[in-house]
Amino acid sequence: MLESAEREALLHALGVEEDALTETERAALDRDGYAVLPDILNAGELADVRAAIERLIAQARLDPTWHAGGTLHLIDLVNDPAFDPVWKSSRLLSAIAHVIGYDLRIGSVTYRAPKPGYGAQTLHADYMQGHRGEYQVATAIVALVDFTETNGPTRIVPGSHMPGNVAVPSDSDTPHPDQRLVTCSAAAAIVFNGHLLHSGTRNASQETRHALQLTFARRTAAIAGTARIENATLDRVGDAAFLFI
C-alpha cells in the first residue's frame, strides 16, 4: 500500500498542482462548493468519448436485461481507454485534490443521459450534506454536449457544503430559492464538493443530454458505487493505477 507522500508524488507526476487552477476557480470551490473548468477535453478526445458512448450503448441494447428507461446509464467506464483523458485530466484532478486532498482514489466513472422529459432529481449530497471536518468526497460532471438552461443542467445550492441545516424541497421539480442552474459548453467539467446539495433537472429540450459523472473520495472514506476495475485496465494505466486502490 502506497503511503500518502508517495500518492501525492504520483499525482504531481500526473500534473496535479494548485496552480493548475486559477485563483477564481479555487475560490469558487471553497466559497460556493463548485467550479466550472472549461475544455478539459480537446476536440479529438471529446469526439472519441462520444463515439465510445455510442458503441457501448449499441452493445448494451443487445443485452435483453438492459433497461434504458428515461435516463440512459453506463457504468465502469474506466475499463475503456477512450475515457482515460477524462479521469486523467490534470485540471480535473487538481480541482478534486483541492477539495479532498491528495490521498484520494477514484470511486467510479459512469455515464448519465436523461432523454427529453426526464432527469429531474431531488436535491441531495453525495456524502453527508454540510459535513463538519475534512471533506471526504468530490464529484465531477463532464458535459458531452452543451448544458443549457432547458436540457436538464445540474443545479446546485451554493455554500450548502458548509455546516448548517438547509431546507430542501421534497419533490424534484420544485426549485430551491438559492439554487443555480450550471450551464457550460461541451468538454467542460463541473467539479463540486460531495457534501454540496445538487441534482439533475428535467430535460425540457428535444435532445438527450449526455454527460459523464466521476466520483472521488479520500482513500479512507467509505463510498458506494465503487467501479469494477479489470486487471487489463490496471496494466494499461501503469503508474496511474494507484488511483483505483
> Are 155 and 123 within 8 A, CB to CB?
yes
If you compute the radius of gyration of the chain from its CA atoms, what whole number of angstroms results? 17
pLDDT in tens, 58-111: 999 898 887 778 999 999 999 999 999 999 999 999 999 999 999 999 999 999
- Global pTM reads 0.95
E-strand ranges in the chain read: 34-37, 71-74, 104-114, 137-143, 154-156, 180-182, 189-193, 198-199, 211-218
Question: What total of structural domains would you count in the chain?
Answer: 1
pLDDT in tens, 198-209: 999 999 999 999
Whether the predicted pLDDT of 225 surpasses 70? no
> Are 170 and 226 within 8 A, CB to CB?
no
CATH number of the domain to which 59 belongs? 2.60.120.620
Instruction: Give percent above pLDDT 70 in the chain.
Output: 98
Of residues 82 and 219, more confidence is placed in 82
Helix, coil or strand: residue 242 = helix
Phi-psi map region of 6: left, alpha, beta (phi>0 left; psi -120 to 50 alpha)? alpha
Torsion of CA 5, 214, 90, 9, to 10 degrees: 10
Calpha distance 36→50 (Å, rounded): 20
Average of per-residue pLDDT across 181-200: 97
Reported confidence tier of residue 224, pLDDT bands at 50, 70, 90: low
Q: Determine how many CB atoms are found less than 10 A away from the CB of residue 126.
A: 24
Return the pLDDT at 1: 64
* Grid cell listed for 108: 467510479
Q: Which of 222, 241, 212 is nearest to 76 (CA)?
A: 212
> Are 197 and 157 within 8 A, CB to CB?
yes
Please state the φ and ψ torsions of residue 101, each to the nearest 5 degrees: 90, 175
Q: Which domain holds residue 65?
A: 4-244
Of residues 166 and 76, more confidence is placed in 76
